[in-house]
Amino acid sequence: MRGGVHPEFHKITSDKDTIKSLPIPPRLVVPLQQHIGEEPPLTVNIGDKVLKGQALSTYGRSSYGATVHASSSGVVSDIRAHPLPHPSGMSGVCVIIETDGADEWIDSVTDTEPLPIECSMLTRQVLLRRIESAGVVGLGGAAFPTAVKLAVTAQQPIMTLIINAAECEPFISCDDSLMRERASEIVTGIKILLQLLEPAQCLIGIEDNKPQAIAALRMALFETEEAIDLRVIPTQYPSGDARQLTHILTGIQIPKNQHSVESGVLCHNIATAYAVYKAVVLNQPLLSRIVTVAGDGIKESCNVEALIGTPISFIIENLGGYTAKAERLIMGGPMMGFAMPSDELPIVKASNCILVSSKEALALAKDSGIDPISAAGFCDTKKTVMPCIRCNKCAEVCPVNLLPQQLYWHARAHDFEKVTEHKLADCIECGACGYVCPSHIPLVDYFRFAKAEIKSQQQTTLKSSRSRERFEFNELRKQRVKEEREAKRQQHKQALLQKKAAAEAADIKSEVITEDAEKIAKQDAIKAAIARAKAKKAAMNEPAKKERNPDAV
């Protein structure tokens, strides 16, 4: 991999013990939108009794949605907007469930037929339906609906299935603990993915700083007949990025404007494979996930299995609470994570780490001249942000071959056209550039700020374009209506003229007929008068004939 850094990974603090189970929290805050795509419609109302595994929303493959379920049984006390664990600090519609402690399961989690003993007996449609109805999304961070991702491959054959087990972010060890303790279930989930995709090869990419997880996976793979190749790669950040891992394992470089599917490659996180196993084999929806809780601001660092919707404060409380060094609360790792304004935010499907840290270990960027969108990054709080000295270290460590210093200058000057020309869209926001910056410039903050502004401008342009299109369409419609009315008027006028002409022609013909009739009548009258005159004359000549010839009688 080009570039990259080798920070202190600090994984041993949270990875030393087994996954810890938490009690059922008294309240669950379940956001409806825990996936990329549209917010799904609700299926419950305030006051409804819900059971564990009951769907709170519907899903739609066309809208890139995913079903959200009740993580435990209880009563829906409220449905309202609630702050979400997101870099933007936005709020979203959440279902508030007051749990009853019974943790009572719904009788039928999905409406699919009972599971046969062998997964190979299930058809592709049944497998996809189980994964879809279980609300499984990518647990590596993107939260893209897994069923949608798998269904797209029906039109595009997959040559290589990559299972991402690198987990390169410092402090985060949730996938490591999952592999160590549940390797056989993960392999079963991978076999289900192989059954769906039928790729030519399957590669598991894992960094060499996870020896116990490597051993557990090798043992589980030894017991399967599937051709799954476990590839151990050097530990380097950010090798866990899907495009970087694909390049490391296969040599294929996927362009930023192209999906990996178009290159015949599909990448799934190791935790997603485990969620697929639970959805298909156990017929259980995605109700919980493994979360790393670490940092010097918490008394006990470990990996916990938390229900979706569990408030962060509840987790911290069950791990002994905060220490005196608790000054920063981060969702995610120190390189790509973001600050949270409150510990009342809930755990969602994309939550993989809660980092509670002191200012000395991890701090917000200060005096940067912009409003930071993120809070992550190893920053020395004793030093202020200094001007860029153009040392080029940021360009040397950039894994996607960008020029961060140029992007920084243009983003700071709000020259977003130049920022776009320097391929800001290719930035994966790994934070490697900010990590090595001797001037402590929060580069990723500027890049995220520029991306947000470009997106806002694009939305404004799109809205303006749509308004212009609507105006032009309305003007064309008015012109068309005017032309249609004029055409109808002309047509009506022509019809009237034709009618008038026909009437005039009929009048002329009537006059000719009348004149002919009068002429004939006169001729008949003359003929009748002549006939009468002849008859009268003949009657007058009759007596004279008798006198001249008396014997004629």
What structural domains does the chain harbor? Answer: 12-24+116-331 (3.40.50.11540), 391-514 (1.10.1060)
Give the model's confidence band at 548: pLDDT under 50 very low, under 70 low, under 90 confident, else very high.
low
Q: Which residues contact 49 (CB under 8 A, 6 or more apart)?
A: 73, 74, 75
Q: What is the pLDDT of residue 419?
A: 92
Q: Specify the pLDDT at position 551.
A: 56
Tell me how far the alpha carbon of residue 227 is from its chain's centroid: 33
Q: Which of 282-291, 312-321, 338-347, 381-390 has the lowest mean pLDDT?
A: 381-390
Label residue 89 exposed, middle or buried (CB < 10 Å: 0-12, 13-18, 19+).
middle
Burial class of residue 77, CB neighbours in 10 A (0-12, 13-18, 19+): middle
pLDDT-derived band at 105 (thresholds 50, 70, 90) equals very high
Average pLDDT of 159-173? 92
Look at residue 370 in the predicted model and tell me its pLDDT. 31
Q: Could you tell me what percent of the chain has a pLDDT over 70?
A: 88
Torsion on CA atoms 272, 277, 282, 288, rounded to nearest 10? -20
Would the pLDDT of 45 be above 90?
yes
Q: Is the pLDDT of residue 231 over 70?
A: yes
Segment 186-212, tens digit of pLDDT: 999 999 999 999 899 999 999 999 999
Q: Comparing 549 with 498, which gets the higher pLDDT?
A: 498
| Helix H or strand E encompassing 412 | helix 404-412
Q: What is the pLDDT of residue 37?
A: 64
pLDDT of res. 377: 41
Reported as a single tens digit per residue, the pLDDT across 61-80 is 556 778 899 999 999 999 99
By three-state DSSP, how is residue 27 classified?
A: strand
Minimum mean pLDDT range among 131-135, 302-306, 345-349, 539-543: 539-543
Strand ranges (E), 249-382: 265-269, 288-294, 302-307, 328-331, 338-339, 353-357
Per-residue model confidence (pLDDT) at position 88: 72
Q: Please, what is the average pLDDT of the chain?
A: 85
CA atoms within 13 A on the CB side of 190: 32
Q: Is the pLDDT of residue 326 over 90?
A: no
From CA 93, how far away is CA 83, in angstroms rounded? 9
What is the average pLDDT across 519-532? 80
Which sign does the torsion angle of CA 495, 498, 502, 507 carry? positive
Is residue 409 very low, low, confident or very high in pLDDT (cuts 50, 70, 90)?
very high
Query: Would you state the pLDDT for residue 162?
Result: 95
